Structure 1
Amino acid sequence: MLPIEKLQQKIQGKKVAFIGAGVSHKRCLEQFVEMGAQVTLCDQKKSVEDFGEYAETLRRLNVRLSLGEHYTDGFAGQDIIMRTPGYEYYKPELQAALQAGATVTSEVELFFELCPCEIVAVTGSDGKTTTTTLISKMFEAAGRKVFLGGNIGAALLPQLAEVTPDAVAVVELSSFQLISMRTSPKVAVVTNVTPNHLDHHKDMQEYVDAKRNILLWQVPPCRAVLGFENDITRAMQSDCKGEQVWFTRLHETDNGAFLRAEDDTLCYAENGVVTPIMPRADSKLRGLHNVENLLAAIAAVWGRVPVEAMRQVGSTFTGVEHRIEPVRVLDGVTYYNDSIASSPTRTIAGLRSFDRKIILIAGGYDKKIPYEPLAPEIIAHVKVLVLMGATAPRIEKAVREHPNFDAASLEILHADGMRHAVELARAAAKPGDIVSLSPASASFDLYPNFEVRGRDYKAIVNSLT
């Protein structure tokens, strides 16, 4: 039986509730209706009109609606509930539906269960998207058909009918997706694990355990690629079920990808043989953290992709939008968009990628993560700090209370929004300076996501005259 037929068998005639009509769910809703499921959409929006243009599609599909304050009432009596990553798995309403006999799953979980081809998946607190994109491009350079999805790309389940056994699915997974997963990929990459999303997870351990799910359900033969420099990922070695390899920028390893110090070359070591891949100088990616992303990708595709394909991608790929992305040079000042930096560790990596002190725009929504580790990095790498959003007081407090803080060498300014922040940064900048938006915070106080935040910043910077 074809995978798409297995999906139809699973959902035909079943009562299926979708939580939210996000990007991936919109296509899945149509797919499920076409396959004969009785679909209910559970959403906080108050009326069908609030869905804008999509309202017409909902009417056409004749989808049942459970809307407004009590939208979770729609969970009652369902056979299957399709969870969105943004809806926490351990919420009482969802756990009650599980106890009542509903199957709780997601677009990604169903794809993993039914996918006929090899899956390579990446998780971690930082570097997921760049690493996932590098892996997909390396497979494409080797002539493989690639399906890119999960936290990036398009929903994978609606593409299931097109996925052939000789293809490869490359998937980025967040902790919210992994927390309930009971299937792991053939190749699993964990870049690093640092405090993040503690506004959604019960505690740090729940966050770490969610990440571990990428490894726990692997079936040999399989590969696990772990970041050696991170204590938590290094400890995950004990979770590995098959082949385990490292990637490391600071040490040489006899088992995985590393940066060779003597000649600054990215290499891969296996069975006592070291293969040089490319000089670090050939990479177009800015920052040492991107060296690690490149090493992680090499370790993931090793043996599946020719070295030449790795080299080609490594020397031509210029990065993903919102990741230390050059925006423009104006009056001798270079502006960068690093809106992806929604945690202190991301901002630290961005700061370290510049060879001089910069003007930093930071602050945003509060995810309840500590800012003390960011303070010494700001003091070392920033000459003007422009703060905005809910976390501004917390970041300022961490910086001012650090023993090395010197008000004479670090000016701290406050903005009431993005345009004001850019204006303050521009006024403070001199020819040769660098201005970077790298918020160390999520975007949700002012923007729906980091992409909208980054594009607003770019639009404002590009409108300067």
Structure 2
Amino acid sequence: MERKASDFFESLNGKTVALCGIGGSNLPLIKMFAKYGAKVLACDKRERTALGENADKAEEYGAELHLGENYLKNLGADIIFRTPGMKYYMDELVEARNNGVAVTSEMEVFFDICPCKIIAVTGSDGKTTTTTIISELLKASGKTVHLGGNIGHPLLPDIESISPEDYAVVELSSFQLISMRKSPDIAVVTNLAPNHLDIHKDMQEYIDAKKNIVLHQNAFSRTVLNLDNEISNSFSEYVRGTLYKFSRRNSVKSGAYMKPDGEIVMSINGEETHIMKAEEIKIPGLHNIENYLAAISAVWGLVDVETIRKVAMEFAGVEHRAELVRELDGVRWYNDAIGTSPTRTVKGTLSLYDRKIILIAGGYDKKIPYDEMGEVVPKTVKLLILMGATADKIEEATRKASTYSEGNPEIIRVNSMEEAVKIARERAESGDIVSMSPASASFDMYKNFAEKGLHYKRLVMEL
């Protein structure tokens, strides 16, 4: 283990460390911190019965449990590790900071002590796929890659096995970035649009959080920004190192872009290198062309052109992202549970197919507008099946759209995923496409988008 990391863990000996959230990502940290002599407090708003075996494991690893509504009261902690879903400015955390308690996060500490180069990706849409593509490209070129962050795997527990010549490829959410004061060696911003306004106090706080991915870079860093997205492109003024732009619509001086004929090139100060044709990319959709443009810009100089082309032709995509579940009686069923915002559903599912589809949408309300999606739905959807807290907003945006006419699309309301799949099955004819893309988060009925996607897939496979 590198010196920075060993110094940090040695400093934990005798300290009281509170970890917020008793879930799969924090359990390895409980085990690790206890091993280095810390008194670990495992804190969760849920009661023990709701936590199930995770509570048992936390105690088995050496933690003292603090549960229920007052789980952050009277901790007596020296360090608090907040979970990304907690509001950074919540009263208990502000009070703790005012009382001299170090409030940090798993990702902040990882950035501080990681011995290898870090490539990090953020954005409103496309960040998971872009992060995964970057990881696949580096692995295909023989590099040792540690993939994690918001993509689901905590990286701090792996720190003992990370070498300086490795690469950490990290997806970062606005919740993680809001408190970050260190930026990656290579930063990628896929795009920015209204999102998570149920947690952030306003759009500006959301943008400012994302901005931290570039604000603390140095002169030897690389930044990759989306020229076609106004907010992402506006980060250019904060870049201190090498700046690459990517674009699906325009040529760029330095970065990857797609020409009008579909040729993808990498330009360095105007000198172009042919990479491939957009049609060679295995995963469908214009948004995935953008994801590849971002990824190519990120790994340029680390991965050769042949490897880039080979991965693009073979990589089948990430689960829950326009994933073909099955074909039954001539009907293709897709799972796009990652469509957790209207822009993601518009750029993803609603841009992919050559015919109008049956769309299952709706879920938890993140307090973001659906006007843009409303304009697109009548042009791309023939049957709209709505469920969850955002059903009203999606129906209203669709009915008031200039493209809408009565019955185009037909709109049906349901109360459960079972009912949605049943109606889609009854109404779909051979040649139809059914896609579940919520355009919303999933917290009204599910723990996360993955649980929603798995439930949908199970129901479809049982048809």
Superposition TM-score tier, normalisation by shorter sequence? over 0.9
Q: 1:53 is matched by which residue type in structure 2?
A: E
CA distance in 1, matches of 2:196, 2:353: 27
CA RMSD of aligned residues (A): 1.2
In structure 2, what is the equivalent of residue 32 of structure 1? 33
Equivalence for 1:430: 429
Task: Specify the alignment match of 2:275 in structure 1.
Answer: 277
Distance in 1 (alpha carbons) for counterparts of 2:440 and 2:250: 30
Q: Secondary structure at the match of 1:73?
A: coil
Cα distance in 2 between the residues matched to 1:70 and 1:56? 20
| Structure-2 residue corresponding to 1:368 | 367
The gaps in structure 1 that reach 5 residues or longer are none
Alignment partners' CA distance in 1, 2:190 and 2:43? 34
Distance 1:99 1:308, change over 3 A: same
Q: Which amino acid aligns with 1:368?
A: K
Paired residues for 1:122-133 under 5 Å = 122-133=121-132
- The answer to whether the Cα contact below 8 Å between 1:18 and 1:41 also exists between their aligned partners in 2 is yes
| Aligned match of 2:453 | 454
Q: 1:153 deviation in Å?
A: 4.5
Following TM superposition, by how much is the alpha carbon of 1:88 offset from its aligned partner in structure 2, in angstroms?
A: 1.1
Counterpart CA distance in 1 for 2:20 and 2:269 is 48
Change (3 A) 1:392 1:308: same
Query: What is residue 15 of structure 1 aligned with on the other side?
Result: 16
Instruction: Name the residue aligned to 1:244.
Output: 243
8 Å CA contact retained: 1:6, 1:114: no
Q: Which structure 2 residues correspond to residues 78-93 of structure 1 after superposition, within 5 A?
A: 78-93=77-92
CA contact (8 A) 2:335 2:435 kept: yes
| Residue 406 of structure 1: aligned partner | 405
Correspondence for 2:307 among 309, 314, 321 = 309
Amino acid aligned to 1:42: C
Find the residue that maps to 1:119 and give its secondary structure. Answer: strand
Report the CA distance between 1:237 and its aligned residue.
0.3
Task: Please say if residues 20 and 43 of structure 1, whose CA atoms lie closer than 8 Å, have aligned partners that are also in contact.
Answer: yes
- 1:41-80 to structure 2, matched below 5 A, reads 41-47=42-48, 50-74=50-74, 76-80=75-79
Matched, 1:296 2:294: yes
- Cross-structure match for 2:7: 6
Q: What CA deviation, in whole Å up to 9, does each residue of 1:238-283 have, x standing for no partner?
A: 1111111101101111210001213x11110002210011111111
> Do the aligned partners of 1:360 and 1:437 also contact (CA within 8 Å) in 2?
yes
Cα deviations by residue, 1:310-363 (Å, 9 ceiling, x for unpaired)? 111111111100000001111111110001001000110120111111111011
Conservation of the 8 A alpha-carbon contact between 1:188 and 1:225: yes
SS in 2 for 1:72: coil
Report the equivalent of 2:390: 391
**TM, length-normalised to structure 1:** 0.97
- Paired with 2:119 and 2:462, the residues of 1 have a C-alpha distance of 41
Alpha-carbon distance between aligned partners in 2 of 1:54 and 1:399, rounded to the nearest angstrom: 42
Tell me, in whole angstroms, the C-alpha distance in 2 between the residues paired with 1:379 and 1:260.
30
Amino acid at match of 1:256: G
In 1, the alpha carbon distance for the partners of 2:21 and 2:407 equals 50
Unaligned runs of 5+ in 2: none
Letter in 1 for 2:264: L
TM-score (norm 2): 0.97
CA displacement at 1:50 relative to structure 2: 4.2
- Does the C-alpha gap of structure 1 residues 117 and 219 become closer, same or farther in structure 2, counting only changes over 3 Å? same
Q: Tell me the secondary structure at the aligned position of residue 23 of structure 1.
A: coil
1:230 deviates by 0.6
Alpha-carbon distance in 1 for matches of 2:171, 2:268: 26
Distance 2:430 2:280 in 1: 28
* Equivalent AA in structure 2 for residue 33 of structure 1: A
Counterpart residue identity of residue 415, structure 2 = D
* Cα-to-partner distance string for 1:190-242 (whole Å, 9 max, x where unaligned): 00010000000000000000000000011120000001111100111011111
What letter corresponds to residue 444 of structure 2 in structure 1? D
Q: What is the CA–CA distance in structure 1 between the aligned matches of 2:54 and 2:387, rounded to whole Å?
A: 34
Q: Report the Cα distance in structure 2 between the residues aligned to 1:418 and 1:46, rounded to whole angstroms.
A: 27
Q: Which runs of 4+ in 1 moved over 3 A?
A: none
